Every structure is written in structure tokens, then in C-alpha cells.
Chain A
């Protein structure tokens, strides 16, 4: 028993946790920012997929993974801008607009595969991936057990970790953070202070799009070397769960995402060891059951922003 545990709980398990969590962290941070500003965003899955596609396309076309990263982030931002326009300016129900974005993303990437590469399934491989730029941070990466997992990483994983710190700081210390917060809690009050709810929400959604685009780029040009249809495989929805489980706060959401990554990494590694003689389905179901248990136990006191999902117009107030 002890031997098994020792074989399971290795530094590599932590590394796997961080890798599995990275795209979820970025997408869940996008959810935090959008929802704190008052926009319910369920479109992360679709935005990620579009980001993944364009990251791979740009990186393949130009040969530069860095341009691919920018392309993925830009595609995520542009696609989100469309979502913002529907949800904020056209006063769509936010869930409706998000659902449309998800459906559209699947059709669009499948169709664009045909247009760009003349085939379906997997795109052309990029010459270099962002994984080639894996960098260890001196000293920090020598911390036993967790050092390599957090501080010997690839560019977008660092960006994911950075986004947590950045958003925690933005919410605590900056005018932008305050505006976003007010826009989600007391939109009318923000408006009377002379700041625009609409502009704040647009900013939040587009910044969220950048993060989803980065999450997509992680999947296609950092963790892999090409785009595969449907490669997000539900991560955008897991991010939605992480946002709620983490109580709409950057650090809580970061921990929730890590938890998802951890249970998934754990079950995969336990399968490989083959010490527990059970059907594979019982391993695979573990992350979902653990999530339900965690949500049941953890989020008793957290609540969503007061005005989240509610349409806003100056004449009509926050309803």
C-alpha cells in the first residue's frame, strides 16, 4: 500500500496536474472576469476551440509559434467581441448568446478545416511549438516536489499562473477591478459614478476572450503541434464548473482548476499502475464524482455577483 502511494504521489503527478489544469485555469479565469462584470459566459468552450484553430493556422502559416500565440489570443478576443456585441449591445440572453457561440465554433472550425487544409480531423503540423520554449526559473524550480511543476514550464502555463496573480491584484487594487466588480454588483451605481457599464462589460468579455484564446493555443501549439477537431473536449464546461466551485474569485478558481487537474492526473496514473483491479470506467468517473463532492462541501457561502446574467440598459436600469 505504502509502496503504491509512493509510486503515485510523485513530483511528476504535480507536473501532470499543472499541465491538465493550465487550459482550465485560463478559461475559468475568463469566466470569473466575465461573470464578475455581470455577463454570464458559457461560451468558453467555443472561444477556446476558435483560439486553438487560429493559433495552429497562424503558427503553421508563419512558422512562428509566438505569432500563433498572438493569433490564438486575437481570434479569441475577436470571437468574444462578437459575443459581447450580442449579449451587451443586442441585449441577448447571455446563456443564449453563449450557446450560439459554442454551436457556431464547432461548425466554423470544421468548415474552416476544409477551406484551409482541404481535409477534416487534424491540421498540418506546425514547424515549432511553444513547448520548445520551456524555461526553468532559477532557484524556484529547485523547490522540492512542486518546483518543477510550477517553475519549469512552457510559456502559456506561465501565462495561466500569471493570470491568477494578475486578476487577484486587479480586483483588489485597480480602478478596472473596481469597475468590473461594480458592473456586476451595482451597475446603476457605476453608471451614476460616470463610468460606462457597457464599456466595462465589453472590456471584461474581450479580456476573457484573450484568455480563452490562449487556452486554445495551449492545446494546439504548446501541448500538441496541430489542431484537432473538437480538441477542447469539454474543458470550457469544466472551466464553468471551476468558476462556480471556486466561488467567482481568482485564487479559489485557481485551486478548483488545480483540483480538477489533480483528480484527473491521479486516476490516469492509478490506471497505469494497475494495482486497483476495477473496470476503467470507475477510474474515469472519479473526477466528476469528486467535483460534485467538492462543490457540495466547498461552496456553501459563495454567491454569484448580484447582477450577473441580467441585461443592462441605462433607461431600464440593471434589470
Chain B
């Protein structure tokens, strides 16, 4: 039944798109297009890009731009049937989330030229990219840089503003695993902190897993014992443990990927937003407006309005205007190119 509906829906959509919209003003409410995503094997609830993209789809649905659908992959062999199947269900745009499906999404895109595909965390060869495929990647280092500016200034200059801060001039980060997007965050974080506070000691610990909350907490406590009073989490669900430690020990955590303030409002200073939600939303909006173009790699950064720092929420009062100004200045500098943010530890002269 659903299949018949889906085919009928697809047929309607074809009919609608064939007819000239100018001649048919919106007398009938047009059915919004089906927009779908398939997660990687981590599934929803990862507190990271799967959740982020899904939030973008849901937002688009709430705004009447799309009908959203999500399909969780179980194993790598599922990617092709899921990506293709969603197109067969009549989806006009399919998001494939996670690097592991970089090849599978190209196969699916070639097999379904009438459907747009967007690969999250993907960059494709320009000479072989199908015309209906969009590579989406992010400048995590820019988000890390902004978080670093806040952490670097707050830990020293404005340590007196909150009892959660100390005078040791140490900040920290907990990493899930040592992989490129995580390293980009970290490189930006260190560079940002040093740009406002050259003497700051940035320490980091790799927990070795994206799913071990207790280990994330213990790593954070280790950093706290070594003097850290602000710790950035770049560790997926392990990062929930960073927030646990902050709550228990009374320091500040900085969230990542999505605004994590709600997890512990009193202890999450801000979050480094990777912009998966906004990039998904922007893409769907372009689809609805008919301006979406495939065959391109798009990098979402500050300039594209995707990367940002989350609001300070209840901590707004303790973050002085000068910190906010420094963040704003850095944002402007990154956008106009006067501030170059390193994307690897090697760029900072740190050996791995």
C-alpha cells in the first residue's frame, strides 16, 4: 500500500514539476516533496551528525518544506539498498550520513538520476561526480576556533566571573577517537585559545570510543585534576560523560555538533555547532525553491552560515562583551579570509 502511495506521490510530483508553476498559482496546497535520510550504522541518538541532519529534516517538515523520513542502517551492506530504496519510495532528496557510504552513495546517485543525493561528510572527485549528487563537508576547525576563543579568554582573564573557573590557565578537550573531523575541531580549538591567550595550556585525552560515557567522564576528571576548568567534548556519546563530569565537579563543558545546553544548562557554557542541521535545512530549502544544484562539493563553514557558536543561554551575563567581540571579530576575519584557521595538529607544529 505504501509503495503504491509512494509511486502515486512520485507520479504527482512529476506531473506537478512538468506543468508550469506560473500558470497554476497556489490554489491547491502542494504536497511537499519527500526528503529522506539514511543514517550510518551508529543510528539515531548519536548526539552528532545523524541527529543533526535529522533535526534539519524535521525542521523542514515543520516549515512545510518537506515530508521527512529516516531509515537507520544496520551494517555497511545496507547502504546501497537503503539509498536506492528511498529514491524508489519517491524521495526527491536523499541524505546519506557518514563517510562510510562515500562510494555507495555515488552508485545510488548514478542509478537514480531523477533524485538528488547529498553525502554528509563527503567530498567527491569533480571529474566523476554524478550531476545529482552533492558532497557536503564542514569546517569543524572554525567551530573549534570560536570555542577556543571563549575558553581561552574565560579561563584566564575572566576567571573571576564564575566560581567554576580557576586561575591555573588550563583548558582541555576529550576526543572520541583520533580521526580527521575530530582533529579539525581540536586544531581549531587550540589555535583559537592561543590566539587570545598565548600562554594557555591546552590538554586533551583520547577516550578510544564514541560510546563509552563513563570513560569520557573519567578522562574529563583527569583533565580537571590537572587544572582544567573548561573542557570541550569532541566524542559523540562519550561526550555525555564530559558533561557528567562538569556537572559533578562544577566546571564548564563545551558541547559539540549540536547545542547541548539542555543536557546540563548550568554547566554547558556553549556549544561548537558543526552545522549539520542548518546545512540539511538549507539544502532542502533550495530543493523546495527549485534552485538546488547537483554535481558539486559544498563545504559548509562560517561563510556559508552553517558553522557557529551556540548561545551562552543562562551564562550570557558572565561572558563579558569583550569575549563576544573577540568571537565576532574572529567570525568576520574567517569570513573575509584574514584569519586562517589550521585544520590539522601538524599545522600547529604538534606531532602526532
By a beta-carbon cutoff of 8 Å, the part of chain A in contact with chain B is: 7, 10, 12, 16, 19-20, 23, 113, 119-122, 125, 131, 219, 223-226, 228-231, 233, 264-265, 268-269, 271-274, 277, 279-281, 283-284
Q: From B44, B244, B247, B264, give the contact of A121 (CB < 8 A).
A: B44
Say yes or no for B208: interface residue by CB 8 A criterion: yes
Are B352 and A279 in contact, CB atoms less than 8 angstroms apart? yes
Which residues of the other chain, B, contact A269 by a CB distance below 8 angstroms? 222, 225-226
Say yes or no for B187: interface residue by CB 8 A criterion: no
Are B46 and A231 in contact, CB atoms less than 8 angstroms apart? no
Q: How far is the CB of B163 from chain A (nearest CB, A)?
A: 19
Known: A121-B45, A272-B222. A280 touches B208 (CB 8 A): yes
Q: How far is the CB of A227 from chain B (nearest CB, A)?
A: 9
Which residues of the other chain, B, contact A125 by a CB distance below 8 angstroms? 263-264
Are A268 and B46 in contact, CB atoms less than 8 angstroms apart? no
B262 closest partner in A (C-beta)? A125
Say yes or no for B304: interface residue by CB 8 A criterion: no
Are B351 and A228 in contact, CB atoms less than 8 angstroms apart? no
Which residues of the other chain, A, contact B237 by a CB distance below 8 angstroms? 121-122, 228-231
Say yes or no for B78: interface residue by CB 8 A criterion: no
Q: What 0/1 readout, one digit per residue, does chain B (175-213) give for beta carbons within 8 Å of chain A? A: 100100000000000000000000000011111110111
B255-294 with Cβ < 8 A to chain A = 263-264
Measured in the bound complex, the distance between the Cα atoms of B219 and A284 in whole Å is: 12
B107-164 with Cβ < 8 A to chain A = none
5 pairs of residues in contact across A and B, judged by CB atoms under 8 Å: A228-B240, A230-B211, A268-B205, A272-B203, A277-B351
Measured in the bound complex, the distance between the Cα atoms of B55 and A119 in whole Å is: 13
Known: A120-B44, A224-B214. A268 touches B219 (CB 8 A): yes
A119 closest partner in B (C-beta)? B45
Measured in the bound complex, the distance between the Cα atoms of B240 and A233 in whole Å is: 14
Are A219 and B214 in contact, CB atoms less than 8 angstroms apart? yes
Q: How far is the CB of A290 from chain B (nearest CB, A)?
A: 15
Q: Which of B46, B215, B218 has the most CB of A within 10 A?
A: B218
Q: Which of B219, B241, B264 has the most CB of A within 10 A?
A: B219
Which residues of the other chain, B, contact A230 by a CB distance below 8 angstroms? 211, 237
Which residues of the other chain, A, contact B65 by a CB distance below 8 angstroms? none
Extra pairs beyond A231-B212, A264-B218 (15, CB < 8 Å): A12-B222, A16-B221, A121-B46, A122-B47, A122-B237, A122-B240, A122-B263, A230-B237, A231-B237, A233-B212, A268-B205, A271-B204, A271-B219, A279-B352, A284-B206
Which residues of the other chain, A, contact B223 by a CB distance below 8 angstroms? 272
By a beta-carbon cutoff of 8 Å, the part of chain B in contact with chain A is: 43-47, 51, 172, 175, 178, 203-209, 211-215, 217-219, 221-223, 225-226, 237, 240-241, 244, 247-248, 263-264, 351-352
Measured in the bound complex, the distance between the Cα atoms of B217 and A131 in whole Å is: 13
Measured in the bound complex, the distance between the Cα atoms of B217 and A233 in whole Å is: 14
Which residues of the other chain, B, contact A271 by a CB distance below 8 angstroms? 204-206, 219, 222
Q: From A23, A224, A273, give the contact of B240 (CB < 8 A).
A: A224
Q: How far is the CB of A258 from chain B (nearest CB, A)?
A: 15
Are B225 and A113 in contact, CB atoms less than 8 angstroms apart? no
Which residues of the other chain, B, contact A113 by a CB distance below 8 angstroms? 45
Q: From A19, A131, A272, give the contact of B226 (CB < 8 A).
A: A272
Q: How far is the CB of B227 from chain A (nearest CB, A)?
A: 10
A11 closest partner in B (C-beta)? B225
Measured in the bound complex, the distance between the Cα atoms of B207 and A264 in whole Å is: 10
B45 closest partner in A (C-beta)? A121
Are B205 and A279 in contact, CB atoms less than 8 angstroms apart? no
Q: From A10, A228, A268, give the contact of B213 (CB < 8 A).
A: A228
Q: From B46, B217, B221, give the contact of A224 (CB < 8 A).
A: B217
Are B206 and A223 in contact, CB atoms less than 8 angstroms apart? no
B201 closest partner in A (C-beta)? A274
Are B45 and A120 in contact, CB atoms less than 8 angstroms apart? yes
Are A16 and B218 in contact, CB atoms less than 8 angstroms apart? yes
Q: From A122, A229, A233, A273, give the contact of B215 (CB < 8 A).
A: A233
Measured in the bound complex, the distance between the Cα atoms of B207 and A269 in whole Å is: 11
Are B45 and A231 in contact, CB atoms less than 8 angstroms apart? no
Which residues of the other chain, A, contact B178 by a CB distance below 8 angstroms? 279-281
Known: A122-B45, A277-B351. A231 touches B244 (CB 8 A): no
Are A20 and B206 in contact, CB atoms less than 8 angstroms apart? no
Q: From A20, A122, A228, A274, give the contact of B203 (CB < 8 A).
A: A274
Which residues of the other chain, A, contact B45 by a CB distance below 8 angstroms? 113, 119-122, 229
Measured in the bound complex, the distance between the Cα atoms of B209 and A233 in whole Å is: 9
